[in-house]
A and B are shown apart, each in its own frame.
Chain A
Amino acid sequence: MIITNKTVKYIIHALLLVCGFIWIYPFIWMVLASVKSNNEFIMSNNPLPESLNWDNYTRAWIDASFSGYFMNTVIMTVATVAIVVILSALTGYALGRVNFPGRKAVIIAVVGVMFIPKGYTIIPLYQLVEQLGMTNSLAGVIVAEASGAHTLFILLFTSYFATMPKELEEAAIMDGCGFVRTFYRVMLPLAKPIIATTVIMQFIWTWSSFLIPTVLTISKPELRTLAVGMQNFVGQHSTDWSGMAAGATISLLPVIIVFILMQRYFIEGVAGAVKQ
């Protein structure tokens, strides 16, 4: 469809720009507030800061232990993403390239688990992690985070590997590559777009995860992630508004940057999800 009328076009642009500014104003507000002093934050109506107060960041980073939260979040996210990529690539490769007996049953299980009504699975997960003796380290959080069925990613890898030409495989076998070498030398490098989609989507999900780290670090404040640690500002630190804004900026900036740089893969993944 084409909008031909020039005036209409300008009006639409103006509307989109004004609404867009309001749309992302909470983020702009957050960044501006993070460099104001607490006094200025409460008293002044001027949206722009009078001067740059970087000590809000020092306070959040050191006093409110955001340095620890940040490291925990990075470790949790990187480990979870790595596990999920490896698991779903291996599974997708077996399902996409090998017509082994029982292949259909595996696919049905992978898709079917999405349709089983789940109860409150965080309670058994918590119990399981406790029984495995993992509550004292981030390992427990990582195991719980990687616990999904990864249906979307497995299906993406399966259909991608299935479309690769047989000649590639035959050539690799001719060169003396076995099954495993063919996979990681020839096939896996070709699946870069799917790997990228998986990495980006899982990165954003895990970084933002809240329930699992909340429950698994309920008695372990030193293992908390950014999303969980941020809640400190709601209760006891609730007077430190600009510290809160600095903490929020520290937490949100990495996802926003990753998203803006790699949004093509993320949006393709989302669009792929609705088509599946």
Chain B
Amino acid sequence: MAASKTNKTNLTKSWNRWAVVFLMPQTIVFFGLSLYPIIMSYVYSFYSWDGASPLDDFVGLSNYVELFQTPRFWGSFLHTIYYVFGTTIIAVGVSLILAVILNTKQFKGKAFYRTIYFLPVVTTTAIIGVIMNNIFGVNGLVNQTIQTIGIIQQPVPWLSDSSLAMLILIAVGAWKSLGMNMIYWLSGLQSIPTELYESAQLDGAGFWRTLFHVTLPLLKPILAVILLLSIVNGMHAFDLVKTLTNGDPYNSTETLDLYVFNYAFGGGTDGTISRMGYASAAGVMLGIFTLIISVIFGGLNMLTQRKSNKHANGRVI
């Protein structure tokens, strides 16, 4: 018995050693390629630095001070808010309707519709941007079509009018992400036990009553998660904004992460010099804004869940 025990501890020891070996590669990647860049992204923000010369001009918080005094930065912040709320309201709302339809029993062609509406999600955003830039161009497909039908005489300047360009950006962003939200909703809907529907039917509740009194209340916890994912996703819309409008006209669709990119790699406003330190500070602010929103939604989520738990407990008693 003693022998088998030492055997076992030996085995545990060798297993623990192997576990460490298995963890090694990911650990190196984690510290070297995940954590180190995160830390350095903060460090750079305290320097005045062009990316090429040595990192020796420590300027403290002055990048941040300049950032807060720059109207273009706040403008891009505002555009990000527009984009985030626009895409979230459309994509999360409409996808719920789709998901409820596709979750109904005995409805044919579910898989087909799911594939169709999900398709834009998997396609390359940077290429969608170029295609949509063409479709909404002055002589593009949309103008051609509505001119042929005869709704308008003059082509609509979809992408060269500031408010229209923002609307197009939001519409394409919502189109691109709607399928993702549909899948989230479907996975929430499928977690609702079918007995609940059956008992609602026995109670004589029709489609709408079941929807408003059974389905939607039970989806509340997942709504918070979907909203959060959609918002965080919308904060990082670089691929689409860069390729569809590139911030035009006159920076009126420039979002935060495009602003950061323009200063880091595009020379900013006044020409050729990359301002890596300043861009890093803007990047940190983007990260902090995202965190604040996540914390608010995480908190809301916990609150609603605690409330519904209490509710459920009360009912049992």
Contact = CB atoms under 8 A, between A and B. Distances in A.
Interface of A: 1-4, 9, 12-13, 16, 20, 23-24, 26-27, 29-30, 42, 45, 86-88, 90-91, 93-95, 97-98, 100-101, 106, 109-110, 113, 115-125, 127-128, 143-144, 146-150, 154, 179-180, 183, 204, 207-208, 210-211, 214-215, 218, 226-228, 230-231, 233-234, 241, 244-245, 248, 251-252, 255-256, 259-260, 263, 266-267, 270-271, 274-275
Contacts of A274: 183-184, 187-188, 222, 225-226, 229
A123 B44 contact: yes
Contacts of B125: 208, 210
Given A98-B15, A248-B130, A90 B287 contact: no
A115 B276 CA distance: 24
B73 interface: no
> What does DSSP make chain A's interface, helix, strand, loop or mixed?
helix
A100 B187 contact: no
Nearest to B274: A123
B36 A128 contact: yes
Nearest to A148: B34
Contacts of B107: 3, 9
Contact of A226 (B42, B104, B127, B264): B127
10 contacts: A2-B104, A2-B201, A13-B109, A45-B144, A123-B40, A123-B276, A211-B261, A227-B124, A231-B126, A274-B187
Interface of B: 14-16, 18-20, 22-23, 25-26, 29-30, 32-38, 40-42, 44-45, 51, 100-101, 103-109, 113-120, 122-128, 130-135, 139, 141, 144, 148, 175, 180, 183-184, 186-188, 197, 201, 207, 210-211, 215, 222, 225-226, 229, 238-239, 242-243, 246, 260-261, 264-265, 276, 279-280, 282-284, 286-288, 290-291, 294
B127 A123 contact: no
Given A98-B15, A271-B183, 7 more contacts: A1-B100, A91-B25, A98-B18, A121-B37, A148-B34, A149-B34, A275-B187
Contact of B118 (A109, A147, A263): A263
A103 to B, nearest CB: 8
B126 A208 contact: yes
